[in-house]
């Protein structure tokens, strides 16, 4: 048993105590009406993008921070509300994206030639979103066309393994797309072949990299072994995962000290660290929560739930900084709390998730974000808007992209 186990009741009781208030001002509150207003402001703004090509051409074509993330969020909004206008706008945006693909800008910080298969930072994510939107609309012809483009893009050679930039991300997207196809009574032989091929490739290449220490992987979710292990566990839901998964799980719960970014997250509530990074989804402890929750659900070992609980407790106490995004801020922390509630049904985790959702909405309402990078799903205020409506309508919201799209 990991040191410190068995103290979860104490941790949970302190999550919602007055001394752990999330808000910047005493008794601050964001009622459902405020979150609904935030959601409406964001969704109305983004749903009009298809009307103005000059606006669209000034945006990015990546899922992480650009227009594909908008279409994906609109699909979420449609699933949650049933309002057909959201699906119509998502389809129109997909049409513009596919028609004017190479007119759209890419973020300067992303060297696209190095990451041709990246789900978050290349056109791979664009075709994935389009396939999901056309599938939802019952337009199988366009769905199949987008699916083929997705498979072609995802099949490009890459040396990168992580979720954000490499092989694990495209494999995760493929799994979610296959699940969506099956729920609609459809299937795709080329997608099944891609999943089979990339599953074996990811497993073998990770094994080689870890054995020979030829990699630059951290131990984080977006850029390291935590995210890769998460994807391998998704594949192993109906079977035994590879020994690599157990190796990664063991290495992560021992990574509680050190100054390197690969050891930046802490799995102990007593850890003394005041930087924002350790509590983020991308490079910190928030992402690790999702891994250990899934490990518990797949493998059934309560030790993994204990580790997830301690990681979530640490993430739930970090409220400094003003980042609100899914990737690096309070929206991502909210999803980690909801993930714990999904696994345990402990009301304290749900309450903490609601508090982070309200804090995210409060900050977004108080601090207007104007740049194009702030429009994105993972990097901008759109993620906060999606979280707001999910937390109002779903008992345990799940993180977009990482998990399949939910219905109300």
The pLDDT value given to residue 259: 34
DSSP category for residue 400? B
The pLDDT value given to residue 261: 29
Q: Which long-range contacts (CB under 8 A, 24 or more apart) does 267-272 make?
A: 267/307, 267/310, 267/311, 267/314, 268/4, 268/310, 268/314, 269/11, 269/310, 269/313, 269/314, 269/317, 271/314
| Residue 273 pLDDT exceeds 60 | no
- Residue 260 CA to chain centroid, in angstroms? 24
Report the alpha-carbon distance of residue 231 to residue 133 in Å, rounded: 23
Helix (H) or strand (E) holding 77: helix 67-81
The token pair at 155 is: 């099949």
Q: Which long-range contacts (CB under 8 A, 24 or more apart) does 109-112 make?
A: 110/62
- Rounded (10°) angle between helices 123-137 and 140-154: 160
3-state secondary structure of 381: helix
| Residue 234 pLDDT exceeds 60 | yes
Contacts of 305 (CB under 8 A, 6+ apart): 292, 293, 296, 343, 344
Least confident residue range of 84-88, 107-111, 272-276? 272-276
The pLDDT value given to residue 372: 44
The pLDDT value given to residue 40: 73
Can you name the residues that pair with 224 across neighbouring β-strands? 218
| Residue 215 pLDDT exceeds 70 | no
Residue 134 to residues 93, 151, 153: CA-CA distances in angstroms?
11, 16, 18
Higher pLDDT: 4 or 13? It is 13
Half-sphere exposure of 187 toward its Cβ, with a 13 Å CA cutoff?
3
Cβ–Cβ < 8 Å for 71, 93: yes
Average pLDDT, the chain: 79
The pLDDT value given to residue 264: 39
Cβ–Cβ < 8 Å for 331, 360: yes
| Residue 97 pLDDT exceeds 70 | yes
Percentage of the residues of the chain whose pLDDT score is greater than 70: 72
| Residue 22 pLDDT exceeds 60 | no
Q: Report the sign of the C-alpha dihedral through residues 112, 118, 120, 125, in that order.
A: positive
The pLDDT value given to residue 285: 85
Alpha helices, H only, 155-264: 167-183, 189-212, 225-235, 243-253
Report the alpha-carbon distance of residue 114 to residue 116 in Å, rounded: 6
The predicted-structure confidence for 141-178, as pLDDT tens digits, reads as follows 999 999 999 999 999 888 889 999 999 999 999 999 99
Over residues 258-277, mean pLDDT: 38
The pLDDT value given to residue 395: 82
Report the alpha-carbon distance of residue 307 to residue 166 in Å, rounded: 27
For residue 190, report the phi and psi dihedrals to the nearest 5 degrees.
-70, -30
Report the alpha-carbon distance of residue 224 to residue 351 in Å, rounded: 30
The pLDDT value given to residue 324: 87
The predicted model scores a pTM of: 0.85
Report the alpha-carbon distance of residue 381 to residue 363 in Å, rounded: 10
Higher pLDDT: 367 or 8? It is 367
Cβ–Cβ < 8 Å for 44, 372: no
Higher pLDDT: 326 or 265? It is 326
The closest alpha carbon to 356, from 381, 379, 337, belongs to 337
Higher pLDDT: 157 or 340? It is 340
The pLDDT value given to residue 112: 52
In the structure, what pLDDT confidence band is assigned to residue 101 with cuts at 50, 70 and 90? confident
Higher pLDDT: 58 or 313? It is 313
In the structure, what pLDDT confidence band is assigned to residue 407 with cuts at 50, 70 and 90? low
The predicted-structure confidence for 278-323, as pLDDT tens digits, reads as follows 678 988 889 989 999 999 999 999 999 988 998 888 888 877 667 8
The token pair at 259 is: 């100054």
Report the alpha-carbon distance of residue 30 to residue 145 in Å, rounded: 43
3-state secondary structure of 266: coil
Q: Distance from first CA to last CA of the chain, Å, rounded?
A: 38
Report the alpha-carbon distance of residue 232 to residue 250 in Å, rounded: 15
In the structure, what pLDDT confidence band is assigned to residue 130 with cuts at 50, 70 and 90? very high
| Residue 263 pLDDT exceeds 50 | no
Higher pLDDT: 356 or 106? It is 356
Cβ–Cβ < 8 Å for 147, 156: no
Residue 214 to residues 60, 211, 217: CA-CA distances in angstroms?
33, 8, 9
| Residue 109 pLDDT exceeds 60 | no
Least confident residue range of 328-342, 360-374, 385-399? 360-374
The token pair at 18 is: 């007055």
């Amino acid at each position: 048993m990991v040191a410190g186990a068995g103290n979860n009741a104490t941790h949970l009781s302190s999550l919602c105590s007055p001394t752990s208030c999330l808000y910047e001002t005493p008794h601050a509150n964001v009622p459902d009406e405020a979150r609904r207003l935030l959601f409406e402001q964001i969704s109305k703004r983004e749903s009009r993008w298809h009307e103005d090509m000059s606006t669209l051409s000034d945006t990015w074509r990546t899922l992480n921070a650009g227009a594909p993330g908008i279409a994906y969020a609109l699909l979420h909004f449609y699933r949650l509300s049933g309002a057909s206008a959201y699906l119509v706008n998502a389809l129109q945006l997909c049409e513009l994206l596919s028609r004017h693909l190479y007119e759209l800008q890419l973020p300067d910080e992303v060297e696209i030639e190095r990451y041709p298969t990246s789900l978050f930072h290349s056109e791979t994510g664009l075709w994935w979103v389009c396939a999901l939107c056309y599938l939802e609309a019952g337009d199988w012809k366009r769905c199949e066309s987008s699916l083929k483009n997705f498979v072609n893009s995802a099949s490009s050679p890459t040396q990168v393994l992580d979720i954000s930039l490499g092989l694990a991300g495209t494999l995760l997207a493929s799994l979610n797309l296959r699940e969506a196809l099956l729920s609609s009574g459809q299937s795709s032989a080329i997608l099944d072949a891609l999943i089979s091929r990339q599953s074996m490739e990811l497993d073998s290449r990770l094994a080689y990299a870890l054995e020979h220490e030829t990699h630059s992987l951290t131990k984080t979710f977006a850029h390291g072994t935590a995210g890769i292990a998460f994807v391998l566990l998704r594949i192993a839901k109906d079977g035994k995962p590879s020994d690599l998964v157990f190796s990664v799980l063991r290495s992560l719960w021992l990574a509680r000290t050190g100054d390197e970014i690969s050891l930046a997250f802490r799995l102990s509530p007593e850890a003394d660290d005041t930087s924002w990074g350790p509590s983020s989804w991308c490079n910190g402890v928030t992402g690790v929560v999702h891994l250990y929750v899934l490990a518990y659900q797949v493998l059934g070992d309560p030790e993994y739930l204990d580790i997830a609980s301690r990681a979530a407790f640490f993430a739930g106490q970090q409220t400094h900084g003003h980042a609100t995004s899914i990737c690096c801020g309070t929206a991502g922390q909210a999803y980690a709390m909801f993930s714990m509630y999904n696994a345990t049904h402990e009301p304290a985790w749900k309450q903490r998730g609601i508090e982070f959702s309200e804090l995210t909405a409060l900050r977004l309402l108080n601090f207007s974000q104007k740049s194009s990078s702030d429009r994105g799903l993972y990097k901008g205020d759109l993620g906060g808007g999606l979280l707001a409506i999910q937390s109002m309508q779903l008992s345990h919201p799940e993180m977009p992209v990482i998990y399949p799209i939910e219905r109300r």
